[in-house]
Amino acid sequence: MGEVSIFSEIIEVPKQAFLGVVEAFLSEDRTLYLIVEGMTVKKEFGCDHCGAGIVAWSPDDQHTILGLKSEGDSLERKIVCEKCKKENTRYWVKTGGVFLKTG
């Protein structure tokens, strides 16, 4: 037996049209699956050794809190300062739940 896909079509919808698309799908007696893609986040901090600014991007959309200490299943990253060439250790901590942001 071949592979079965639950998706008949995947579409990307701008936020202005989202409610209209949902209403149209549901009024036609369809099943609508919502897949929300997260984005990585940018964090800035000062080098532990020289104070120069360092930019770091989260490794995924779940580990979005940048910390100095390891917590739970955090991900360790060693980031080299471009100015002094020394290593800075930071930990990406997993966000505790689903957050909705509008703006």
Q: Where are the domains of the chain?
A: 42-94
> What's the pLDDT at 68?
94
Q: 66-99, pLDDT tens digit by residue? A: 999 998 889 999 999 999 999 999 999 987 654 4
Is 90 exceeded by the pLDDT of residue 30? no
Give the predicted TM-score (pTM) of the model: 0.57
What are the phi and psi torsion angles at 23 (to 5°)? Answer: -60, -45
Higher pLDDT, 27 or 9: 27
> What's the pLDDT at 61?
83
92: closest CA among 67, 60, 56, 57?
Answer: 67
Q: How many CB atoms lie within 10 A of CB 60?
A: 14
